[in-house]
Amino acid sequence: MVYVTRKSHFSASHRLYNPTFSDEKNDAIFDKCNNLHGHGHNYVLEVTVKGLPDPSTGYVIDLKQLRDIIELEIIDKVDHKHLNYDVPFLEGIIPTAENIAVIFWSILEKSIPMGTLHSVKLYESDNNFVEYFGEPVNIPNFKAEEVLS
């Protein structure tokens, strides 16, 4: 297997809170991330596809094609947006890096034309990042069918 990764960037704001919690509980759990009008991150997204290089091209996946898919399916929809309000596929979802990575996976998995999606890695900052490999995850309010339709 050969693992091929495309790195992309986007900037977005979000607010972490659970509407079923009291204000006090949201403050206790999410602290500064619960700021009423949100806060921003310069996110870094790394998408890794695995496979065997095609004997005729030497490619697992054409990285230009992977770049275009990530731009079209993800970056164009989240860059310079407020993730709580502006992104239909994140509606009703607490926009932690964990949840965002899982949802990005579900979108990309169906769009990758060659090879197999291996991981989605999402950096919220230099020091904080999450990585997801496609195991089943339950995210309240996330309906994969709607995201993909």
Show the binding pattern over residues 27-56: x = contacts Ni ion (CB under 5 A), - = does not: ------x-----------------------
Comparing CA positions, the residue from 100, 106, 75 lying closest to residue 11 is 75
Residue 69 or 87 with smaller CB distance to Ni ion: 87
State in angstroms the smallest separation of the CB of 29 from Ni ion: 13
State in angstroms the smallest separation of the CB of 16 from Ni ion: 6
Q: Name 25's Cβ contacts closer than 8 Å, sequence gap at least 6.
A: 18
Nearest residue (beta carbon) to Ni ion: 33
In this structure, are residues 16 and 37 in contact, taking their beta carbons and an 8 Å threshold?
no
Residue 48 or 96 with smaller CB distance to Ni ion: 96
Please state, in angstroms and as integers, the Cα–Cα distance from residue 64 to each residue in 68, 73, 143, following that order. Answer: 6, 14, 29
The residues of the shown chain that bind Ni ion, judged by CB under 5 A, are 33
